[in-house]
Structure 1
Amino acid sequence: MTRPASLELGLIGNCAISALVDRQACIVWCCLPRFDSDPVFHALIDSPEGIPADGAFSIEIEDLVRSEQAYDEGTAILRTRLFNGHGDAIEIVDFAPRFFNRGRSFRPALLVRRVCALQGHPRVRVRLRPRGDWGRTVPPVARGSHHLCYAMPHGNLRLTTDAPVIYVHDETWFSLAEPLNLLLGPDETLERGVGEVARGFEEQTALYWRGWTRSLALPLEWQDAVIRAAITLKLCLYEETGAIVAAMTTSIPEAPNSQRNWDYRYCWLRDAFFVVRALNSLSEVATMEEYLRWLHNVVRDAKGGHIQPLYGVGLEKQMPERQLDHLRGYRGMAPVRVGNQAHEHVQHDVYGNVVLGASQSFFDKRLFRGADASDFALLEAVGERAWAVHDQPDAGMWELRTRARVHTSSALMSWAACDRLAKIATRFGLGERHSMWRTRADAIRERILREGWSDKRKAFAESLGGHDLDASVLLMAEVGFLDPQDARFIATVDALEASLCDGPYMRRYEAADDFGRPETSFNICAFWRIDALARIGRKAQAREIFEAMLAARNSLGLLSEDTDPRNGELWGNFPQTYSMVGVINGAVRLSAPWDTVI
């Protein structure tokens, strides 16, 4: 029995690799050996006839009638239970090993699947169909006594298992008489039995995640939602380099048949800053330290010049965008795109995002390596770029491909760069540098207040001198540009609610773009609205909208980029870091304080 592809998916991973698992325990997406590699399993974007399909890894029960799925509490370990109509049931445990071993992080490019019977005498089938070259290649398979080896373009992929290998190879139904383990990863021989290795990996991975979760400074309310969001953000960190990807997928449409299909498996400096800031609010600073390593390389390499809005996880500058016409797309909604043309864009908000992302490191005593005066000098070069371009047209944070304006949000982030550099200069007792950056910040602020305000709309507009509305101006309060009690900010919130909101949902902007007017709401905008409402004192309304956004998550607590306000269906790349950031920020902003119960 097949089923349509959907975003009712769970994310497993270990900060080196990841995979998406659907409600029936089918792995429908996994890129190896890194987040932006050729997918080993690509069924999510090429299965219009339904799942399971080629490019997937399924474990099935005969005569399935229902399923249950949940994460083990406080972990990235996913547990799926499948039931048939005869009283039989199985459980599949999915995870990627992650724990500390010999003084370092152990995160192999390995997926572990453990299967056991819960009741009855179930018959099961394993269908393992990896594909290479974006689904074009069926890899040759070699069979060993306890493994199958697939000759993949990026290197051999080995399934080591205590299941009957012939049944796995031939996709044969068989009775599940005892627990099974399936380890899919590098073509390496295990030093111990597969069951012992899988069991040990699960126990140690669970201990790691529970210890990590325990260290979080959680708000009193909505803790389960915050924990799941935090773990999801952590899994988007490519730990080897420190890059943070915006999402794990490519080409999930932002709206049905919209052609808004993009590849988000890269590190946007804007998105990464918001991830770091959200995790910092929970006192999780290790991700920031890893990201700062990566960011430092970006800044050093720029040498005071242009910084791209995004890079590859290995600091790649070129991500040429191309369409793969042989793939039919999510639910048949092509195109499938690989790479992202945005690496060629001029987006001036990037300089503010760099400075904002690094600024905490100059003040936080918890860091192993706090930033010093040499780092400040490096960051000043970024500030010089922010000052030089603050009044120049760009593609804006929404990456418009055919229109350039002096976007208010870009000027706002240039102000933030100068403002934070002034504060850092004070930290080092550099009075002249403080005065210079403060003067520049004040000049940018005065221009935004003068030219960003639209008397016609009684709101700050999306561009200087413009009149169209854009949700990004809500960041004025979040970055400290404007007091939220300022009458102009309150009027802007009112205007945006009237023009961009559909109930709890919020669109990015009202003007048509390269593909027409947006149809779906952009989830992070709804969370920006929540933050703004809370800051201006409308906390009851903010809480109501926040609860609605939590209800919009899938059954495992994950969000994609967009939501259809007509039916609540998730669209856009998944899981979207921006959206998960909103969950954390909303809970931290709105939660009752701990001293109300202590």
Structure 2
Amino acid sequence: MAVPIEDYALLSNCRTAALISREGSLDWLCLPRLDSPSAFAALLGDEGNGRWQLRPADSDATCTRRYDEDTFVLITRWTTDDGVVEVHDFMPIEPDAQIDVRRTDLIRRVVGVSGSMTMQQKLTIRFDYSRGMPWMRQTGSKKHPCLVAMAGPDAIAIRGAALHPVDHQHEGELKVQAGETQDLHLTWFPSHRDMPDPLDVDDVLEVTKHWWQKWADRIEHHGPHHKKVVRSLLILRALTNHETGGIAAAATMALPEDIGGERNWDYRYVWLRDAALTLEALLDHGFLSVAERWREWLLRAVAGDPSDLQIMYGLAGERNLGEWELDELPGYEASAPVRVGNGAATQYQGRCRG
């Protein structure tokens, strides 16, 4: 049975986004950009389409979760009869001057709170919307294990705990005592380049929390429902590309308008209408700089003959958003076909705002 969509939590580095289920599984992640092909796509199928699960081995474990204040650091607190553990999931974000597009990282920090707990990992990586079965190889050492997956232009390294092949996936366990911290570290990089060095997790965690909190502190809102307003604006920022200024309509593709139906569109692009509404919300809360960046994006995207204006573009202003169907993904709750790209880019919609 599919995970309810509302049970997913969003992670973001303002270049791409990940979805983590309440059961601790990473079920959606496109790399390196939001509109790139997926490496984890269980959201639109099952574990065989790409999933990284991290949860207690005890099937009776219970959990609560929250974001760390006004950030996209997700804290999941697991409780069993033997102990309490927290998993801190986040995607490191870099200040503008330090953006490195040659890598994308996602970190799962396991923190022992009390007692002890055995955590179980199950990992399946499938590049290119589940069409790319990677070569897998073990590197590193017994003390510092590293599993590398590689297919076509993409490579992913998983560091931090030993993983062993089991029936076309990799599994492993780690035992965490009270006061201990263990970091599991995913790094995407172009397969033709050397594997990047691991990050200093303590450092990037603080930088990431500070970056999000500093942005949230600029929000000008003094009315009711303050926390909901702040979280909503944070999500809009998460959908705004850090490099180009393009504002995506959604972090996902092919989620159905009706369960089991065919209206399963790819929304990882910039609709002029949707972006205009997003900008209105951001401007109403003090974010003039975001509007200025999007204006620059817009001028680049629509350059040329006005008669060629489109209703949507790619995150960097790409115009060719041709649509096709994926047979390799069965769809959310078997809602097929799964569509990539969006043929509406060439439609004329005269009543669109934007």
TM-score (norm 1): 0.54
Which amino acid counterpart does residue 74 of structure 1 have in structure 2?
D
Answer whether contact 2:123 2:170 (CA < 8 A) is retained: no
Answer whether contact 2:137 2:147 (CA < 8 A) is retained: yes
Please point out which of 334, 337, 344 is paired with 2:346: 344
In structure 1, distance between residues paired with 2:76 and 2:229: 22
Which amino acid counterpart does residue 69 of structure 1 have in structure 2?
R
Q: In the alignment, does 2:239 pair up with 1:239?
A: no
Q: In the alignment, does 2:175 pair up with 1:172?
A: no
Answer whether contact 1:239 1:290 (CA < 8 A) is retained: no
Structure 1 residues 285-336: Cα deviation after superposition (integer angstroms, max 9, x where no partner): 22212211210112323x3323111111122212111111232110222221
Answer whether contact 1:64 1:82 (CA < 8 A) is retained: no
> How far has the Cα of 1:13 moved from its partner?
0.7
Please point out which of 55, 69, 74 is paired with 1:73: 69
Structure 1 residues 520-545: Cα deviation after superposition (integer angstroms, max 9, x where no partner): xxxxxxxxxxxxxxxxxxxxxxxxxx
In structure 2, distance between residues paired with 1:246 and 1:258: 21
Q: Given the superposition, is the C-alpha separation of residues 280 and 15 from structure 1 closer, same or farther in structure 2, using an over 3 Å criterion? A: same
In structure 2, distance between residues paired with 1:304 and 1:20: 38
Q: In the alignment, does 2:86 pair up with 1:91?
A: yes
Answer whether contact 2:146 2:162 (CA < 8 A) is retained: no
Aligned to 2:137: 142
In structure 2, distance between residues paired with 1:155 and 1:129: 15
Which amino acid counterpart does residue 284 of structure 1 have in structure 2?
F
Aligned to 2:106: 111
In structure 1, distance between residues paired with 2:93 and 2:338: 31
In structure 1, distance between residues paired with 2:73 and 2:346: 38
Which amino acid counterpart does residue 75 of structure 1 have in structure 2?
T
Q: In the alignment, does 2:213 pair up with 1:210?
A: yes
Aligned to 1:319: 321
Which amino acid counterpart does residue 150 of structure 1 have in structure 2?
A
Which amino acid counterpart does residue 16 of structure 1 have in structure 2?
R
How many residues end up aligned between the 2 structures? 339
Structure 1 residues 170-206: Cα deviation after superposition (integer angstroms, max 9, x where no partner): 41334224321122123455656x5xx1111111111
Q: What 5-or-longer segments of structure 2 have no aligned partner? A: none
Answer whether contact 1:5 1:331 (CA < 8 A) is retained: no
Greater relative CO (CA pairs within 8 A, separation 6+): 2
In structure 1, distance between residues paired with 2:345 and 2:306: 18
Which amino acid counterpart does residue 152 of structure 1 have in structure 2?
A
Aligned to 1:42: 41
Q: In the alignment, does 2:259 pair up with 1:221?
A: no
TM-score (norm 2): 0.89
In structure 2, distance between residues paired with 1:254 and 1:265: 15
Answer whether contact 2:259 2:333 (CA < 8 A) is retained: no
Q: Given the superposition, is the C-alpha separation of residues 42 and 167 from structure 1 closer, same or farther in structure 2, using an over 3 Å criterion? A: closer
Which amino acid counterpart does residue 214 of structure 2 have in structure 1?
G
In structure 1, distance between residues paired with 2:218 and 2:36: 32
Q: Given the superposition, is the C-alpha separation of residues 13 and 152 from structure 1 closer, same or farther in structure 2, using an over 3 Å criterion? A: farther
Please point out which of 258, 263, 266 is paired with 1:263: 266
In structure 2, distance between residues paired with 1:124 and 1:54: 22
In structure 2, distance between residues paired with 1:38 and 1:89: 36
Which is strand-richer, 1 or 2? Answer: 2
SS of the aligned residue for 1:134 comes to helix
Listed as ranges, the matches of 1:397-546 within 5 Å are none
In structure 1, distance between residues paired with 2:93 and 2:209: 9
In structure 2, distance between residues paired with 1:110 and 1:268: 28
Q: Given the superposition, is the C-alpha separation of residues 113 and 150 from structure 1 closer, same or farther in structure 2, using an over 3 Å criterion? A: same
Structure 1 residues 567-594: Cα deviation after superposition (integer angstroms, max 9, x where no partner): xxxxxxxxxxxxxxxxxxxxxxxxxxxx
Which is helix-richer, 1 or 2? Answer: 1
In structure 2, distance between residues paired with 1:318 and 1:267: 13
Answer whether contact 1:74 1:209 (CA < 8 A) is retained: yes
Aligned to 1:29: 28
Please point out which of 53, 59, 65 is paired with 2:54: 59
Aligned to 1:506: none
Q: Given the superposition, is the C-alpha separation of residues 247 and 256 from structure 1 closer, same or farther in structure 2, using an over 3 Å criterion? A: same
Answer whether contact 1:64 1:83 (CA < 8 A) is retained: no
> How far has the Cα of 1:165 moved from its partner?
5.0
Answer whether contact 2:245 2:297 (CA < 8 A) is retained: yes
Percent of aligned pairs sharing the same letter:
29
> How far has the Cα of 1:347 moved from its partner?
1.1
Q: In the alignment, does 2:299 pair up with 1:299?
A: no
Structure 1 residues 251-270: Cα deviation after superposition (integer angstroms, max 9, x where no partner): 11112222221110111010
Answer whether contact 1:115 1:181 (CA < 8 A) is retained: yes
Q: Given the superposition, is the C-alpha separation of residues 87 and 167 from structure 1 closer, same or farther in structure 2, using an over 3 Å criterion? A: farther
> How far has the Cα of 1:209 moved from its partner?
1.1
Aligned to 1:158: 157
> How far has the Cα of 1:53 moved from its partner?
5.0
In structure 1, distance between residues paired with 2:132 and 2:196: 27
Q: In the alignment, does 2:7 pair up with 1:5?
A: no
In structure 2, distance between residues paired with 1:290 and 1:275: 13
Which amino acid counterpart does residue 136 of structure 1 have in structure 2?
R
User: Which structure would you say has the larger Rg?
Assistant: 1
Answer whether contact 1:54 1:130 (CA < 8 A) is retained: yes
Answer whether contact 2:233 2:282 (CA < 8 A) is retained: yes
Answer whether contact 1:167 1:174 (CA < 8 A) is retained: no
